[in-house]
Structure 1
Amino acid sequence: MAHLVIATNTKAMPKLDGSIKSKVHDFFEKLSSDDTNPSLHIEPIKSAVDPRVRTGRVDLKYRAILFRIDNKLGGDTTYIYMGTWMHDEAIDLARKSMLRVNPINGTLEGIVGELDGNSDRKKRVVVPDFDNKLNRAVAEESVPFLVGIGYTLTDLTDKLGLDPAIAELAMKAADDNEIIDIAQHAVAWEGSALLDLATGISIDDIRDKHAFDDEPIDTSLDDDEQVLKALERPASKMQFAYIEDDEELRRVIEGGDFAAWRTFLHPEQRKYVDANRNGAFRLSGGAGTGKTVVAIHRARHLMSLNPDARIVLTTFNKTLALGLLSDLRSLDPNITEAKQPGDPGVYVRGIDALAKAALDQADDSGPACEAVFGTAFEFAGRTNSDAVWREVSQSVETDLPAHLKASSFLEHEYVAVVLANRITSLEQYARIARPGRGVRLSRPQRIAVWKLVEAYRRHNRMEGTVSFPEVLALAAEHLRLRAESGVGAAADHVIVDEAQDLHATHWALLRALVAEGPNDLFIAEDSHQRIYGQPIVLSRFGIKIVGRSRRLTLNYRTTAQNLQFAVGILSGADYQDLEQSEESTAEYRSARTGPTPVLIECSSAGDELDRVAAQISEWIAEGIEPSTIAVLTRGQSDRDRFVRALGERGIEARALDSNPASAGHVQALTMHRSKGMEFSRVVLAGVDDTHVPSAATLRSVPEEEQAEALLRERSLLYVAASRARDELVVTWSGTKSALLG
């Protein structure tokens, strides 16, 4: 039986249609079970650069390029699959292909030859207009980009191990965009290292991120043994992945993307997936940097260590949780899914549903009610918090100014201060600290606010209802009391995605779910994407990070141009992360380039509708699948207006709310709804000074909280802009939003 390793798709490999994919799968099945099967026609190539190269028959027209690695210690043969080409092309390419272990960093590199017979890697890299740009730069006597940062050619070749030809090109590049162009034509680890160089970080940091400082490969081993050792290196796994079973093989092939995140991880991501930690760990990173990918792989990894582990994988809402569950099943269809909290397996739910499930398991919710409310009562329904706060603020006489009687202020105060601290009396409320609330309250004002809190709770007791934050607080208290009784925690590990949007009672629940200890909490967040709630400091909830915090900076979703535009929206604003440290966008970079975002000023609302429709029609005429095109608006009424207008102009569009995206239709959705999604083409519509930031939203916020509310509006536009993979168009009529700069 042979082992199978699949390499990421080389740039030259043509896309395979469905019939060829199925034949490739059959070829692999035969190869794995018996590589001596005559029907495979595994054949060496005469005069090949690398004697290990082979081709195999997929069918009469197509052949696969492989490297055969023999285990001299008596193990099974390993085949490394590089791709499938037409018969004659495969033979020509295989003759000039090679597999080698990088002598500087021990990474395995698979290089497929070129049809023109040119084996010079420098000439394999085609940077648009590179020679003309270089000539202009020389004429202007400008300093090349990497030279200006302080790197030398020796840094790239002797310390990182970049191919000298690639390194020479990089050292001549005029700017970071040319570095990105070169990176896209290099082998996987080289491309990643080049993108790091473009951010100006140290050579030592780049080596550490790619795990180049591991023990060197023993050169006394023969070539094949060195290859097998190199395959285990984290940087090698960016290009090569062992395929464990037939189901995984089928998913990789049918996915059509041999660089799919499900199989291939960056060494830095893999480190965060696999590492054991003494306590909670926080992984931050900008939009599209793969935090969710790491979280899903982390859940699978923990299950592989202990099949009986009780793992909770949760996120901000139901829609995002369904996405997590779908991706987890795609990653490992055989993974054990827990039916309820506390069962072995991975329990995947939105955090509000998680709280309800935990509370439903309580035989008696009375003790939790006593602790949270000061009295026990029966409840069955859910409170409409906004309506109840408005009612009590109007019916209960107080001297509070209008902004302190607003339902938004009262709800935030209730959740962040009262529920978070299990306050049941005025005496407790009068003494409690209110960090992060922004609005100072005098003692008379606290007394008045407490009168409204009591009225709110009295109303809910009479109605037999509780709000979702109250369910969270009750569930957290139930779990805490359960653990104190000696039963223990309900989970062994908790993994949280989109953590920046969680409020105080969410964190109380998460802390109560799992005991403090090794690998207890894995938290993925980006404070720049906080579009709900108030800032939170984890230490106030007993979650101690203490140096166990790292940041991802490589964006896999958007082009460099779209990323630059999105990050520009955040410029000039100060953000803090969940440890109350400054959140930075420094070192963010993209692995791809594309067109510059287009900003379109329209003469009227009608003109904007026409121009958006014209742009979408142009994309569809180019062959872009309509369901990968999205129109994002600040509010639902504008979303619905664009759906109608597109329909009137002959473009099928659907409003995306709680429903899944529908094939064949352009998707129209609010910026809030777009969270966690991505599209090939995006139109940000209605980005004027009335809608973005939302004037109505800002008017409803107390003056003391205006700055924080404006940060959320800025974050919302950043989230929306970062949904675009390939092309981004921004439109408005009237006055352009100040957030666009």
Structure 2
Amino acid sequence: MSTLNPVVAIGDDILDCLSRLPKGAYQKAAKFIMRFRSDPRSSGINYERIQNAKDDNLRSVRIDQNLRGIVLAPEKGNVYVLLWIDNHDDAYKWAVNRMARVNVASGSLQVFSVDEKSVKAEPKKEEAKPGLFDDLRDRELVRLGVPEELLSVVRKINSEADLETAEDSLPPDAYEGLYLKAAGYSYEEVMAELDRKDEDSGVASDDFETALQTDESKRKYWVADDEEELQRMLDAPLEKWRVFLHPSQRKLVERDWNGPVRVLGGAGTGKTVAAMHRARWLAEHRLTRPADRILFTTFTSNLAADIQENLRAICETDQLQRIEVVHLDAWVSAFLRSHGESRSIVFPGSNEKLDGFWTEAVTNYGSELGLETKFFQDEWSAVVQANGVSNRDQYLRAPRIGRGTRLDRKKKADIWKVFEAYRARLDEEGYLEPDDAYRLAREILESRPSTLPYKSVVVDEAQDMGPEAFRLIRALIPEAEDHPDTNSMFIVGDGHQRIYGRRVVLGRCGINIRGRSRKLRVNYRTSEEIRKWAVSILAGVPIDDLDDGADDERGYRSLFHGPAPEIANTKNQANEFERLGAWVGELENEGFSPKDICIIARDKRTLRLFENHLRSEEIATVEIKRRQAEDRRRQGIRLATMHRAKGLEFMAVALVAMNDGVVPNVLAIRAAPDEAGREEVIDAERMLVYVAATRAKKRLLVTSSGKPSEIIDFEGAK
């Protein structure tokens, strides 16, 4: 037996295996894993060959009388990889057709299923359909990640449906490459997108130890060299994102960047996960002085609370202490107070006094212009505040791209009088709008040497922040000739999820991302069926990339499949309650925990109707409130508004009361000043539905009563 220290790794499937075990069996398995990690060659661990196994490197190990583990234990080398845990018969059934190979092209460890049918090519019929990958040579398929043992399987794939059917037989890196090719990418584009080289990796076919160190392997296998980290993984809720990063995420996280980075990606692609791991990596590897800090900021207090809670799951205490998590408005408010600012920050749209100021200003100075009050409010936000306009001449020159109502120079001059009156009322009452506060904080920072401790800023949900917010963020980590811009900003966002109406062009805010823009395309959270339905809601909606370009969802796909979303338009609210109750009952019968089910409504008033109904049926509920992280310890079906659900995820989601007048919000539609404004409202509501739907992992129910929402195809779903 080798005297070298063994290399012990844990496959990500182990977390799924553990989640299915009853408590007693779970504790035995967890105890075995800690012993296995400590010394896999212990005399108490007996490795047995698996009869009729396709791979002679696989062994079974006894955990208790019924429970077995499956371990990759090659004869050559000193590697032990725990792959599977199950009851005796099912563990052997899982292992008998499995093979573990090092893909010499990618250098990754691949474990996949092979049976006689899948490796023996069927003779081609005279009029057989062309294969989906006929244009690729075997060598290119191997470069895409396909094991040589599965080339015959891939050659028989004729359609995207066939590819999806074959997914369980393929290693995830192979399926990913094939999926992108089927989505229309050329071979060269796929290789570039996956950052793979068109040459062998240099890892030998029997060098399992080196293979475990590649990024492709680290997405599936964790080398258990940290006993405390392994114990935390076994003690805490079993979430793969805490340990297993996709190669595309790891390449973003664990490296130095020579300037600001922008990361785009659809819902569920792990942008926030990448941002959190980035903050952790910087705190561990790039902060050199005790006082150095990472600022992790986002747009809402809800998301900040959720991120803080999740960071506790992946960070050690000293790392967590060096990451300051705060939503931007709270940071600005505290900063201004520390500099003697006494004015209060007030938020448009949620303050009756501001509405009164607008009514007063329009009545006194704009009543003859033939424009609705909502027009002035939108013009103020989209043109004046967004561009930092402070006087009439600046407003006359300010761009109005995307504004529906055309204005000549004279009318703009008259409109400015309304703005002056509104600004005067703000000053009289001692109020600052958020953009005013951002601007004032930036001016303070730019007027004196910085004493802030931040060495890097991580920004989540960037699509909801406006230009003044990003000008302030640039001032927090200023670019200067006497020091580099290395690792200054890590900005993640998705224009498809813009639910607060703000738009930004980073380059115009002093944030240069040229050459440092990346995109995540793999959805880890949501089934492909739910993802496709959610994406269909955004058909025809123009999406930007946060830097004056367009974004799309080409190549965006999910890693797993599930039931199609259930879409139901009912006759009345009583019937909708009944449909929802039946759905909840079905889920509970299938073993779903109540806390893994969330009911989402457009607004609080609508949500309260469903809460009252569920309580009348003696069904326990837990409302997810603003400014509070969700407490997973409490039992009960979750309730949330669409805005509060942002950033969360559940096994099953019901979008309720998707009625005409509710979605889109009828008051917002009526208040729109022109056709462009109405289209903007509808587009924003579509994005809100997209966000809400993609909170679901496996099951989605969409219901309405009476006349349904115009943005959802209830008829086509029947």
Q: TM-score range by the shorter chain?
A: 0.7 to 0.9
Name the structure 2 match of 1:388: 353
In the alignment, the residues of structure 1 paired with residue 420 and residue 641 of structure 2 have an alpha-carbon distance, to the nearest angstrom, of 36
8 Å CA contact 1:631, 1:685 repeated in 2: yes
In the alignment, the residues of structure 2 paired with residue 231 and residue 586 of structure 1 have an alpha-carbon distance, to the nearest angstrom, of 31
Deviation at residue 647 of structure 1 after TM alignment = 2.6
Name the structure 1 match of 2:417: 451
Deviation at residue 721 of structure 1 after TM alignment = 1.9
Amino acid at match of 1:388: K
8 Å CA contact 2:97, 2:115 repeated in 1: no
Name the structure 1 match of 2:716: none
Say if 1:404 and 1:507 are closer, same or farther in 2 by CA, change over 3 A.
Answer: farther
Name the structure 1 match of 2:8: 4
Name the structure 2 match of 1:587: 555
2:97 aligned with 1:120:
no
Name the structure 2 match of 1:372: none
Q: How does 1:78-477 map to 2 (within 5 A)?
A: 78-86=79-87, 99-110=100-111, 120=115, 123=118, 143=129, 146-147=132-133, 151-152=135-136, 154=138, 157-164=141-148, 166-213=150-197, 216-218=200-202, 223=206, 226-254=207-235, 257=238, 260-308=240-288, 309-338=292-321, 345-362=322-339, 364-365=340-341, 378-379=342-343, 382=346, 386-396=351-361, 397-400=364-367, 404=371, 406=373, 408-477=374-443
In the alignment, the residues of structure 1 paired with residue 532 and residue 52 of structure 2 have an alpha-carbon distance, to the nearest angstrom, of 47
2:532 aligned with 1:564:
yes
8 Å CA contact 1:613, 1:649 repeated in 2: no
Say if 1:210 and 1:243 are closer, same or farther in 2 by CA, change over 3 A.
Answer: farther
Name the structure 2 match of 1:374: none
Q: How does 1:650-689 map to 2 (within 5 A)?
A: 650-658=618-626, 660=630, 663-689=634-660
Q: How does 1:45-84 map to 2 (within 5 A)?
A: 53=58, 55-68=60-73, 77-84=78-85
Of residues 494, 500, 506 in structure 2, which corresponds to 1:538? Answer: 506
User: RMSD value over aligned CA atoms?
Assistant: 3.6
Q: Taking structure 1 as the reference length, what is the TM-score of the superposition?
A: 0.84
1:38 is paired with a residue whose SS is coil
In the alignment, the residues of structure 2 paired with residue 505 and residue 415 of structure 1 have an alpha-carbon distance, to the nearest angstrom, of 11
1:574 is paired with a residue whose SS is coil
Deviation at residue 106 of structure 1 after TM alignment = 2.1
Deviation at residue 500 of structure 1 after TM alignment = 0.7
Deviates more, 1:151-160 or 1:549-558: 151-160
Deviation at residue 348 of structure 1 after TM alignment = 0.9
Deviation at residue 514 of structure 1 after TM alignment = 1.1
Deviation at residue 97 of structure 1 after TM alignment = 5.9
In the alignment, the residues of structure 2 paired with residue 449 and residue 402 of structure 1 have an alpha-carbon distance, to the nearest angstrom, of 8
In the alignment, the residues of structure 2 paired with residue 158 and residue 645 of structure 1 have an alpha-carbon distance, to the nearest angstrom, of 56
Of residues 564, 574, 591 in structure 2, which corresponds to 1:623? Answer: 591
In the alignment, the residues of structure 2 paired with residue 691 and residue 95 of structure 1 have an alpha-carbon distance, to the nearest angstrom, of 54
Name the structure 1 match of 2:459: 496
Deviates more, 1:316-325 or 1:353-362: 353-362
Can you list the C-alpha shifts for 1:487-544, whole angstroms capped at 9, x where unaligned?
3665221111111111232222211111232222211111111111232222221112
8 Å CA contact 1:217, 1:230 repeated in 2: no
Deviation at residue 684 of structure 1 after TM alignment = 1.9
Name the structure 2 match of 1:368: none
1:630 is paired with a residue whose SS is strand
8 Å CA contact 1:355, 1:509 repeated in 2: no
In the alignment, the residues of structure 2 paired with residue 533 and residue 642 of structure 1 have an alpha-carbon distance, to the nearest angstrom, of 28
Can you list the C-alpha shifts for 1:551-575, whole angstroms capped at 9, x where unaligned?
2221111111111111111112222
Say if 1:543 and 1:549 are closer, same or farther in 2 by CA, change over 3 A.
Answer: same
Q: How does 1:548-559 map to 2 (within 5 A)?
A: 548-559=516-527
Amino acid at match of 1:473: R
Deviates more, 1:93-102 or 1:553-562: 93-102
Say if 1:693 and 1:229 are closer, same or farther in 2 by CA, change over 3 A.
Answer: same
In the alignment, the residues of structure 2 paired with residue 621 and residue 436 of structure 1 have an alpha-carbon distance, to the nearest angstrom, of 50
Say if 1:454 and 1:302 are closer, same or farther in 2 by CA, change over 3 A.
Answer: same
In the alignment, the residues of structure 1 paired with residue 368 and residue 128 of structure 2 have an alpha-carbon distance, to the nearest angstrom, of 61
In the alignment, the residues of structure 2 paired with residue 218 and residue 646 of structure 1 have an alpha-carbon distance, to the nearest angstrom, of 60
2:477 aligned with 1:514:
yes
Amino acid at match of 1:315: T
Can you list the C-alpha shifts for 1:628-670, whole angstroms capped at 9, x where unaligned?
2222222222111111223334433344332536743222322
Name the structure 2 match of 1:699: 670
Can you list the C-alpha shifts for 1:68-120, whole angstroms capped at 9, x where unaligned?
47997xxxx543222334467767877876543113332222458xxxxxx63
Deviates more, 1:97-106 or 1:604-613: 97-106
Name the structure 2 match of 1:643: 611
In the alignment, the residues of structure 2 paired with residue 154 and residue 217 of structure 1 have an alpha-carbon distance, to the nearest angstrom, of 17
Say if 1:87 and 1:422 are closer, same or farther in 2 by CA, change over 3 A.
Answer: closer
8 Å CA contact 2:191, 2:198 repeated in 1: no
Say if 1:728 and 1:167 are closer, same or farther in 2 by CA, change over 3 A.
Answer: farther
Can you list the C-alpha shifts for 1:424-472, whole angstroms capped at 9, x where unaligned?
4334444444445554444444444443444334334433333333322
Say if 1:79 and 1:152 are closer, same or farther in 2 by CA, change over 3 A.
Answer: same
Overall identity of the aligned pairs, in %: 31
In the alignment, the residues of structure 2 paired with residue 326 and residue 181 of structure 1 have an alpha-carbon distance, to the nearest angstrom, of 37
Deviation at residue 54 of structure 1 after TM alignment = 5.0
In the alignment, the residues of structure 2 paired with residue 527 and residue 696 of structure 1 have an alpha-carbon distance, to the nearest angstrom, of 24
In the alignment, the residues of structure 2 paired with residue 438 and residue 451 of structure 1 have an alpha-carbon distance, to the nearest angstrom, of 21
1:235 is paired with a residue whose SS is helix
Amino acid at match of 2:336: L
In the alignment, the residues of structure 2 paired with residue 736 and residue 428 of structure 1 have an alpha-carbon distance, to the nearest angstrom, of 45
8 Å CA contact 1:313, 1:495 repeated in 2: yes
8 Å CA contact 2:345, 2:437 repeated in 1: no
In the alignment, the residues of structure 1 paired with residue 310 and residue 131 of structure 2 have an alpha-carbon distance, to the nearest angstrom, of 39
Can you list the C-alpha shifts for 1:166-198, whole angstroms capped at 9, x where unaligned?
343344345424322322343332333343334
Name the structure 1 match of 2:693: 721
Gaps of 5+ in 2: 480-484, 714-718
Amino acid at match of 1:508: R
Amino acid at match of 1:323: D
8 Å CA contact 2:119, 2:152 repeated in 1: no
Deviation at residue 292 of structure 1 after TM alignment = 1.0
1:492 is paired with a residue whose SS is strand
Deviates more, 1:679-688 or 1:586-595: 679-688
Name the structure 2 match of 1:734: 706
Of residues 683, 686, 694 in structure 2, which corresponds to 1:711? Answer: 683
In the alignment, the residues of structure 1 paired with residue 286 and residue 646 of structure 2 have an alpha-carbon distance, to the nearest angstrom, of 32
In the alignment, the residues of structure 2 paired with residue 458 and residue 62 of structure 1 have an alpha-carbon distance, to the nearest angstrom, of 74
1:596 is paired with a residue whose SS is coil
Deviation at residue 64 of structure 1 after TM alignment = 3.4
Deviates more, 1:155-164 or 1:184-193: 155-164
Name the structure 2 match of 1:610: 578
Deviates more, 1:647-656 or 1:602-611: 647-656
2:316 is paired with a residue whose SS is coil
Gaps of 5+ in 1: 113-118, 126-130, 339-344, 366-377
Say if 1:719 and 1:403 are closer, same or farther in 2 by CA, change over 3 A.
Answer: farther
Deviation at residue 596 of structure 1 after TM alignment = 1.6
Say if 1:256 and 1:54 are closer, same or farther in 2 by CA, change over 3 A.
Answer: farther
8 Å CA contact 2:34, 2:231 repeated in 1: no
Amino acid at match of 1:7: G
8 Å CA contact 1:153, 1:171 repeated in 2: no
8 Å CA contact 2:119, 2:149 repeated in 1: no
8 Å CA contact 1:561, 1:596 repeated in 2: yes
Number of residue pairs the alignment of both structures matches: 693
